[in-house]
Amino acid sequence: MTSKMWGGRFSAGPSAIMAEINISLPFDRRMAAQDVRGSIAHAEMLAARGIISSADSKAIIDGLGKIERELAEGKFPFKNALEDIHMNVEDRLKELAGAAAGRLHTARSRNDQVATDFRLWTRDAIDKLDAELKKLQATLIDKAEQNAGTIMPGFTHLQVGQPVTFGHHMLAYVEMFGRDRSRLADARKRLNESPLGAGALGGTSFPIDRTMTATKLGFARPMANSMDAVADRDFALEYMAAASIIAVHMSRLAEELVIWFSPQFGFIKFSDAFTTGSSMMPQKRNPDAAELVRAKTGRVIGAMVGLLTVMKGLPMTYSKDMQEDKEAVFGVADTLELCLAATTGMIADLEPVSARMKESAHSGYSTATDLADWVTQKLGIPFREAHHITGRAVKLAETKGCELCQLSLADLQSVEPRITADILKVLSVDAAAASRTSYGGTAPDNVRAQTKAARERFLGETLKW
């Protein structure tokens, strides 16, 4: 049987194996709504340019409108025999609109049709992802505001460094996810050009209006080169690159949640909503949601590397290899949607154990930098010398088995005689955190101001970056 799509060139249909490897409907059906939108814009343009009659255009658009409703209601009759979503829509349109349906593909190839649909789908995915990131930021900002003065240890090398506040720590991730949204916005701008009308690769002899279809589909402009229009997938790669960075940021946050939830740290509590038990050990409560968010980052990064590998050796313009692009992008979108929902839920659910956090902030001589800063500021000693003085004080505290704030004035003066009683006011973790008032610092008043600024920058109608 001759293929309905390939026409008279082939006298027989494909083998079963060829049909199986060639079919893309099971995954590209997700672009059905975008395919209909693109086809409506194309039909309207064809009529406006006098390439098809108004009557045929109306029949086509009415038929596509019925298909749109069928898709929305879950009643569209998908047929695996028709290979992909594009042929499914075209075949159904023929059933609804009759002979007029055959005119829809005038001045259009599946190459520019697929590229248009995929750009529309990815653009929609970016908009959805941005909204989900915004929800996560809002949840982090709320948690930061509630904990602007909650003292915890700040770490470098996973060793206690300086006292910070839990609110300040939450705002660090607000900034990360803000940059992620900015990257998505940049990617969207570059993506937002229309391939429609590029044809198979060299354009068309029909007097089409590519600016008209671009405008109708919300694109900023038509793509300037027809070969690039059908061959390019860097918009998908850029989406996946941005997605990979988002996944890495979520993974880092998830890792901290796992650490903080462990009994050795005990910094946070979760409800039963985001933890599971053990099949053998009845006492266990495992942070599985955080662990899975951490793990799924590998899936996102792997998908990006997979598509890069597919694209790296392709000559101009279109090759069937590019059919492998969509499953990777769809999978990334699904994974991020789930991970963002889980991460937002965990942040909203967690309860800081403030007493344990503050107790831990006292450990590891976390106010050593404050001692060195005081010596520099009050005694006029160069910081490098103050650093050595502080090191000797830390060694003394180690010998005595106490923290810096537990050393007496006499102890400190045995290290540096010029030290006065004023030093005792700066060695507590509360004083240390409160003293860091430089822009972007952890002082509770700073954190309160930064939560307000973050709401204005990230939670308004427009992202301010």
Positions annotated as catalytic residues are 157, 278
Task: From residue 440, give the alpha-carbon distance in Å to each of 149, 191, 347.
Answer: 15, 34, 22
Residues 6+ apart with CB under 8 A from 407: 393, 396, 397, 400
Kindly report the number of other CB atoms within 10 A of residue 294's CB atom: 21
Mapping DSSP to helix (H, G, I), strand (E, B) and coil, where does residue 151 land?
A: strand
Evaluate the omega torsion of the peptide bond into residue 317 and state whether it is cis, within 30 degrees of 0: yes
Structural contact between residues 218 and 124, judged by C-beta atoms closer than 8 angstroms: no
Degrees (nearest 5) of the Cα angle 77, 40, 46? 130
Query: What is the distance between the terminal CA atoms of the chain, rounded to a whole angstrom?
Result: 58
Q: Is 224 exposed, middle or buried (0-12, 13-18, 19+ CB in 10 A)?
A: exposed
Question: Rounded CA gap, 270 and 261, in Å?
Answer: 8
Q: What is the 3-state secondary structure (H, E, C) of 400-442?
A: HCCCHHHCCHHHHHHHCCCCCHHHHHCCCHHHHHHHCCCCCCC
| Widest CA span in the chain | 100
Question: Rounded CA gap, 239 and 127, in Å?
Answer: 11
Mapping DSSP to helix (H, G, I), strand (E, B) and coil, where does residue 152 land?
A: strand
Structural contact between residues 208 and 49, judged by C-beta atoms closer than 8 angstroms: yes
Strand-pair category, 193-194 with 221-222: parallel
The DSSP call for residue 360 is H
| Number of helical H runs and strand E runs in the chain | 18, 6
